Amino acid sequence: MSNSAQKTDHEHSAHGYHGFSWKALFWPSTNHFIIGLQYLFTGIFMACVGVFMAYVFRMQLAWPGTEVPLFGFVGPGDYNTMVTIHGTIMIFWVAMPVLIAALGNFLIPLMIGADDMVFPRLNCLSYWVFLLSAIILVISLFVPGGGFGGGWTAYPPLSADASYSLTKWGQTLWVLAVALEFVAFLMGGINFVTTTMNARTKGMKMYDIPILVWFIVIASILFMISVGPLIAGAVMLLLDQLAGTAFYNVAQGGDPLLWQHLFWFFGHPEVYVVLLPALGVCAEIIPVFARKKLFAYKIILYTAFATGILSFVVWAHHQFIAGIDPRMANIFTVTTLLISIPITEMMFVYIATLYGGAIDFKTPMLWALAFIAEFLLGGCTGIYLGCTGVDIFFHDTYFVVAHFHFVFVPIAVLAVYAAFTYWFPKASGKMLCERLGKIHFWGTIIPFTVIFLLLFMLGMAGQHRRIADFTQFPELVSYQSVRQIVTCCLLVMIAFQTVFIWNVIKSLLWGKKADKNPWRANTLEWVVPNVPPHGNFVDGYPEVYRGPYEYSVKGREKDYWPQNEPE
């Protein structure tokens, strides 16, 4: 069938996979495991850059005008650049590569019983284009003029005219980096979708596919369809920057509002592109650590489709006070409030899965539970922002910042740690230390919650975004101590990440050797040996007999029932 099609490509691959080695990470490889790790490590590196920028701008906010250790004085232009690149990096070079590319590449072939992706060379190319885009973005920080500082949303004319953005090279390299990243993910997305459609092992029907795989596929489709107009828009922005065209220049007949629409037409589905894999991770972890069947597989699946479709008609809620037609604003308020329904329903399904289960509070489960709690809080604040009247007050304040961090951090941090701690034994063959994991967990969750609850408060007080120094504003000066507390919490949160790094190093070097299936889970990735070898299923392709969530089935001795066990 299609499995044989993969083998031909594999034999011809010049960079055959001969088992994991650290050296292999630095060379082009067509093996999905290595490519997944390459995406992961690049994402981690970019996360460090993004966190450093957060550190710099938060230090400036807490103690304005003072020298920030490891950086220096932060001028207003520097501040804008830090904020812009922080946002850009976290979404495009951390959340997407880790959640979609790393998880997808590592897990999709394993979970559907395939030996690799169906287009291994395209997969390889997608990583190296992605790496190039990351390099270009980092270079953009060091060119004459410095990095682009117009916000990750890059509204023209600020982003189209170097006399406004003050960085001719920075603004162009920024657009190029983002455009290349889009191309890389278009290539990657084709792989995920086609592999899942065509390369499933014998017996795996549509409804036997693990939710994580489904969600990454739906996310890829969402991405592919929504990014088109923005790629067109990015071409137009590049031409405005370089060729003197006037797509977004009012004085010559263009319209900057067009960019806003193009950007957010993609920008909104994009948040679901990153949300769905995070939800998928929780869907995998919660049944395992509750020893209970996922509450409503088909409903979750259809809900995800519905969310995807709805996500295309909510975009202008980012533009309520940008001067759009107010009648449009009314329509978008309705659709925005509607889209909260399917997501909430998914949350309820997870909670229903927990109900009556035998919950085991291992570290991955803690992260997954925290995801649900924090994401629910963040999502509720989105309801406020979705109402035009309220948004007139809240737009561009820290309320928005707190809202999107309360949803994004669960997606890009909590779910990622959940996935990392859950699949670490499979990828490395070692178990992580539970105690250190729990310390890291609490040391991350508590500061995170404090930081952004305080920022909600500041937003309600009227503190605006993208401003380097609030002591200039008499009405906000009194909150300076709050800002300092927030920054201190951030420092604590960063400090606790060292616990995680130490945990990983310690476990890799001296950790307990892991069983093939330490969590006693059902899905197919636990069938292969740890540190998956070339071809994954070296003992023969598995055959699937049931769905992935058959836990605690009545009348059976074991409380789990792997998909590939015939009886």
Partner 1 sequence: MSDNHEHSHSDYWKIYKWLVVLFVISVAGPWLAPGIKVIVLLTAFGIALVKALLVVSNFMHLNVEKKFIWFLLLACVFILLVFFAGVAPDVLNKSGNNWVSDSAAMVTHHVKHQENHQADPPPVVSSVKTNIVVTGPSSKGEELFKSKACFTCHQTDPSIPAPAGLALKAPKFMGDFWGKEREVELNSDPISPAFMPSGKFEKVVMDEAYVMESIEKPNLKVVKGAVAAMAPLPTNADERKALAEYIKSLSK
Partner 2 sequence: MPTGRLGMWWVVASEVVIFGGLIMCYLIHRLGNPAWGDEAAFTIVGAGALNTFVLLTSSYWIVRAHKHVNNGELEKAVRDMYLTIACAGIFLIVKSYEYSTEITELLHHHPHPETGHVIGTFPVFWAFYFAATGLHALHVIGGAAAIYIVLRGVKKGENLQRVEYAGIYWHFVDVVWIFLFPLFYIAK
Residues engaged in binding partner 2 (CB under 8 A): 2, 5, 118-119, 122, 186, 189-191, 193-194, 197-199, 224-233, 235-236, 239, 243-247, 252-255, 258, 262
Please give the structure tokens belonging to residue 180. Answer: 């290349």
The least distance separating partner 1 from the CB of residue 107, rounded to whole angstroms, comes to: 25
What is each CA distance from 436 to 441, 496, 499, 502, in whole angstroms? Answer: 8, 10, 7, 9
Q: Which does 243 bind (CB under 5 to 8 A by kind): partner 2, partner 1, none?
A: partner 2
Q: Which does 198 bind (CB under 5 to 8 A by kind): partner 2, partner 1, none?
A: partner 2
- Between CA 467 and CA 401 the distance in angstroms is 13
- Footprint of partner 1 on 328-347 (CB under 8 A): 328
Please give the structure tokens belonging to residue 18. Answer: 């001969």
Report which DSSP code applies to 514.
P
Q: Which does 233 bind (CB under 5 to 8 A by kind): partner 2, partner 1, none?
A: partner 2
Q: Which is nearer to partner 2, 265 or 519 (CB)?
A: 265
What 3-state DSSP class applies to 315? Answer: helix
Residues 454-473 as x/- pattern, contact with partner 1 by CB under 8 A: -----------------xxx
Angle at 193 between CA 191 and CA 195, to 5 degrees: 65
The least distance separating partner 2 from the CB of residue 270, rounded to whole angstroms, comes to: 14
Q: Which does 227 bind (CB under 5 to 8 A by kind): partner 1, partner 2, none?
A: partner 2
Please give the structure tokens belonging to residue 117. Answer: 């992706």
Query: What Rg value do the Cα atoms of the chain yield, rounded?
Result: 23
Q: Which is nearer to partner 1, 255 or 543 (CB)?
A: 255
The least distance separating partner 2 from the CB of residue 200, rounded to whole angstroms, comes to: 12
Residues 243-262 as x/- pattern, contact with partner 1 by CB under 8 A: -------xxxx-x-xx--xx
Non-local (6+) Cβ contacts of 539 within 8 A are: none
Report which DSSP code applies to 115.
S
Position 91, amino acid: I
- Between CA 118 and CA 199 the distance in angstroms is 7
Q: Does residue number 1 form part of the binding site for partner 1 (CB under 8 A)?
A: no
Please give the structure tokens belonging to residue 409. Answer: 């951090």
Which residue of 132, 242, 324, 383 would you call a contact of partner 1, by CB under 8 A? 324
- Between CA 208 and CA 504 the distance in angstroms is 33
Q: Which is nearer to partner 1, 203 or 228 (CB)?
A: 228
Q: Which does 66 bind (CB under 5 to 8 A by kind): partner 2, partner 1, none?
A: none
- Residue 41 CA to chain centroid, in angstroms? 14
Non-local (6+) Cβ contacts of 124 within 8 A are: 15, 28, 29, 30, 35
The least distance separating partner 2 from the CB of residue 147, rounded to whole angstroms, comes to: 25
Angle at 201 between CA 199 and CA 205, to 5 degrees: 95
Please count the other Cβ atoms lying within 10 Å of the Cβ belonging to residue 203.
16
Query: Interface with partner 1 by CB under 8 A: which range of 26-34, 315-323, 420-428, 458-466?
Result: 315-323
The least distance separating partner 2 from the CB of residue 114, rounded to whole angstroms, comes to: 11
- The footprint of partner 1 (CB under 8 A) covers 225-226, 228-229, 250-253, 255, 257-258, 261-262, 265, 312-313, 315-316, 323-325, 327-328, 471-474, 477
